[in-house]
Structure formats: structure tokens, C-alpha cells
Amino acid sequence: MTVDPYAESGEFIDVFSRDAWQTLGPPIVSALRGAVPAHGPILDIGAGTGLGTFLVAETLPTAEVVAVEPSPVLRAVLLSRLAAGESLRPRVTVVATGIENWQPPPRLGGVLAINMIGHLDSQRRRLLWAELRTRLATGAPLIVNLQPPAEVTVVPPSVFSTITIGRHTYEGSGDARPAGDDDDTVTWTMRYRTRTADGTTVRDLVVVYPWHVVSGTQLLDELADAGFDAAVGELDVVVATPRD
């Protein structure tokens, strides 16, 4: 049975991800303009709560979108968001599984894979790139992003997001350490605190999960081996297209 790393923390992911998506939006939108939705759907791998899915749908108003997300908690937010507006219901299909357990459509007009490749080890990534290479239309982009750390190392504790909703302030923080039993893995310890207006902590959730580290050089090598031309762009957004 697959363990859902977001089973406990999923309620916080959407609110803590919004600022990051605002920042990542411009280079992703720029890359999406190279998509060819007339040749196939746009695949959103690890769609989470749908922030990227909606960005694809807004950028490409004629595109069909297939959003693949294994976490029931994150998927519930995505489906609720889709149900709240009738305009996207006919265009977005949500698939309840991980990408490694599902076969993509035979032809794709583009692929988005943001904030998720650390869930895949090197072997699974290489299999995915090879699979996508055979399905992506000519010139269609595969859009991936790199996330720190770029090597197995200690990441000191830091606060990554704070947001106040009503009378509560929510704080997300984390740190990472080498897993010890795997050359390419760190263990993230994420902490989600809920505080009242006077600073009293009323909830303190700690979640631990593994993350497979990949550097820019390593990712470009993997993509090249799979038959892509790729480059690291703004905010470590990587855009790859099938090599002629």
C-alpha cells in the first residue's frame, strides 16, 4: 500500500503554495505557450490541489487537461475547485493515481510536472521521461522545476510561509537531513503550526517524508538520454522538447 505523504499535512498545502505559484507563474506560462493542444491533452503530473491545472486551463483556453494526483486529500481540493465552476468541468479530467501506475494518452500536447519530481527516484524518472518522449507532439514542452537542495546535504530549519486566516496564523517550516541509507535522498521534516492572535500555539503538526534529490546537471542529462533538448530557465524551471 502506497503511503500518502500529504495525508496529515494536505489541508495546508494549498494555502502555503499560492505565493510560490504566483512567483513560478510567469516562466511556466511562457513555456506553456509552446504547447500544441490541438495534438493532444496537456498532462499535469502531480497536480496537487490544482494550482497548476488551473494555470494550464487559463493559459490554453481550448486545451483538454488531464490532472494526475495520487493524494486523496489534495485531489479533494482539486475536484472541489473544479466543481465550483462549470466552465472547466468539460475540459479537465482528474486521475486518481500516481503517474508510475497510469499510462498517459498516446499523444500529448504538453506536460507540466511542478514540485513533484523529488517523489520519484532516478530509475522512475528515467522511465517517465522515456515514456513521455514517445507521446509528446513535435515541439510540445515538458515543463519541470528543480527544487532545493541540489545535493544531499543538511538544510537548516527555516520558515517558508506564514498566512493569517480569521483569528489564526498558520506557519509552515522545515528542515532536511541526508537519509543515510540512500545516496540521493534527504528526509524532510515539515512543521505546521497554528497560532492564535496572542501567539499561543494551538496545533503543532510534524510530518516526515523522503525526497529524492536531483541537480540541474543530472536532470538535463536524464532528459538528454531520453531524447529531449532541455534548458534550465528562470526560477529553475526546466523546459524540454522532443529532439528531432
In tens digits, the chain (244 residues) has pLDDT values of 567 989 999 999 999 999 999 999 999 999 999 999 999 999 999 999 999 999 999 999 999 999 999 999 999 999 999 999 889 999 999 999 999 999 999 999 999 999 999 999 999 999 999 999 999 999 999 999 999 999 999 999 999 999 999 999 999 999 999 998 768 999 999 999 999 999 999 999 999 999 999 999 999 999 999 999 999 999 999 999 999 8
Domain with CATH 3.40.50.150 in the chain: 10-146+214-242
Strand partners, 194: 170, 203
Environment class of residue 23 by beta-carbon count within 10 Å: exposed (0-12), middle (13-18) or buried (19+)? Answer: exposed
Return the pLDDT at 2: 65
Look at residues 101, 161, 158 and name the one whose alpha carbon lies nearest to residue 131: 101
Contacts 24+ apart (CB under 8 A), 196-200: 196/167, 196/168, 196/169, 197/167, 197/169
Return the pLDDT at 180: 84
Helix runs in the chain, H state only: 10-32, 51-59, 72-83, 122-135, 216-226
Architecture in CATH of 10-146+214-242: 3-Layer(aba) Sandwich (3.40)
CA distance 187 to 207: 10
CATH number given to 155-212: 2.20.25
DSSP state of 41: P
| CA distance readout (Å), 128 to 98, 125, 160, 207, 240 | 11, 5, 30, 27, 13
Return the pLDDT at 85: 86
pTM, to two decimals? 0.96
